[in-house]
Amino acid sequence: MFKPWLPFEWIVAIRFLREGRMQTVFILVGVAIGVGVIVFMSALLAGLQGNFIARVLSAQSHIQLLPPKEVTRTLRPATPSEVDAAIVQPPLQRLKSIDQWQSLITHVREMADVTVVAPVVSGSALAVRGSASRAISLTGVEPEGYFQIVKLPEKIVRGTPRLTGQDMLIGTDLASDLGVDVGDKLRVANAAGVATTLTISGVFDLGNKGANQRSTFVSLRTAQSLLGLLGGVSSIEVTVRDVYAAEVIAQRIQAATGVQADSWIKTGAQFFAAVSAQSTANTAIRFFVGLSVAFGIASVLVVSVVQKSREIGIMRAMGISRGQVLRVFLLQGGLLGWGGAVLGCAVGALGLVLWQHMALNADGTPLFALVLDPTLFVLALGLATLTGLAAAYAPALRAARLDPVEAIHG
């Protein structure tokens, strides 16, 4: 029995769906599978993309501010009478500081969407232990700010992430090559021969052999002294709230300050292109699955119009308006889309839960985090319902235009 408060269109639409049970069940299952695929693939690809971004950006900043490059300037143009013009070569890019970097940090920190700003001094040096020596990349940082950008404390495998004036953090492979560990002394020298002895306070693993062989971290003042950049910094590292807006913010910083601002999108163009291609593929999958769902609903309703043409004719002869007939079939499409979407969301959520428990790393942890975002399910329900309504429009219009006499006699 139908509730007495149901409008006429709802009563007829539900009755038509119940009379064609097999068709209704099949299209509901088809819509559910389509929506389930969309939900599962969207959450899976979003989790995979987020994992890639997190892994890449956990070891670097979103934007790096650098001093302007030195360029060649000729003293005078060559005259036509000169036989041999002077050969002017580009200058060597020496390590230099960013002008007025303290005020620059204050200015950038006050910008919208900027979260962390940290000064850095980096350059090449030589680590010496007895007769063994290795070329290293020396990075001087202020731990309080820099460790918010690069989560180095989480990558420490031995010791602590302490960086006082005489402390040093080194990679696992460099420690193995030099035969040192936490508490040992290491002599570090620059290209000019200026050297100091530092104590290894921690050993880290960045997950990359090359980085572990050459990366070292010291305090900012220690690096300034060793690299001959007293009171200066070679770069300023910046993180922002929206990593995908990093290039826009970098251009804004460069326009406002005049320093060179390189975002991770610019420096990692190939990686960003791969991420964008992944997003495009996800959109294409959702589009074609949605298209198949729409055609499935439309085909069922076209058949329903043919089967119910006599009933439609009788209703029209009894005074039912074209608009009411139109709404009957639009409601069928909307109900099929909504009902299939509810089942599809459940199927997609179940698939995601099973994936989390079955796709594991060697240590038993999930491959990457998957978040069951309620927004995804709300969007899936809304889009499936709208798709059902759109797919039902043509059959509904055909039903509304049926001539009552022809429909009854036909």
pLDDT tens figures, 327-347? 888 888 888 889 888 998 999
How far apart are alpha carbons 178 and 339 in whole angstroms? 65
Provide DSSP, 216-248.
EEEEHHHHHHHTT-TT--SEEEEEES-GGGHHH
Nearest to 56 by CA among 246, 236, 310, 185: 246
How far is C-alpha 389 from the geometric centre of its chain's CA atoms?
A: 32
Q: What are phi and psi of 21, to 5 degrees?
A: -55, -45
Higher pLDDT, 281 or 80: 281
Above 80 in pLDDT, residue 142? yes
Average pLDDT, the chain: 83
Higher pLDDT, 195 or 309: 195
Whether the CB-CB separation of 222 and 198 falls below 8 Å is answered with yes
How far apart are alpha carbons 35 and 331 in whole angstroms? 19
Whether the CB-CB separation of 376 and 282 falls below 8 Å is answered with no
User: Crossing angle for the helix pair 309-317 and 269-307, nearest 10 degrees?
Assistant: 70
Report percent pLDDT > 90 for the chain: 25
Whether the CB-CB separation of 143 and 123 falls below 8 Å is answered with no
Token look-up 């509904």 returns 396
* Residue 131 DSSP SS3: coil
- pTM comes to 0.69
pLDDT of residue 85: 52
Nearest to 336 by CA among 288, 294, 291, 377: 294
Above 60 in pLDDT, residue 93? no
Instruction: Return the number of other C-beta atoms located less than 10 Å from residue 13's C-beta.
Output: 22
What is the mean predicted confidence (pLDDT) over 294-298? 80
Characterize the bridge pairing of strands 167-171 and 195-204.
parallel
Of 101-115, 183-197, 239-253, 273-287, the least confident: 273-287
**Residue 17: Cβ-neighbour burial (10 angstroms; 0-12, 13-18, 19+):** buried
Q: In the chain, what are the domain boundaries?
A: 8-56+272-409, 101-258
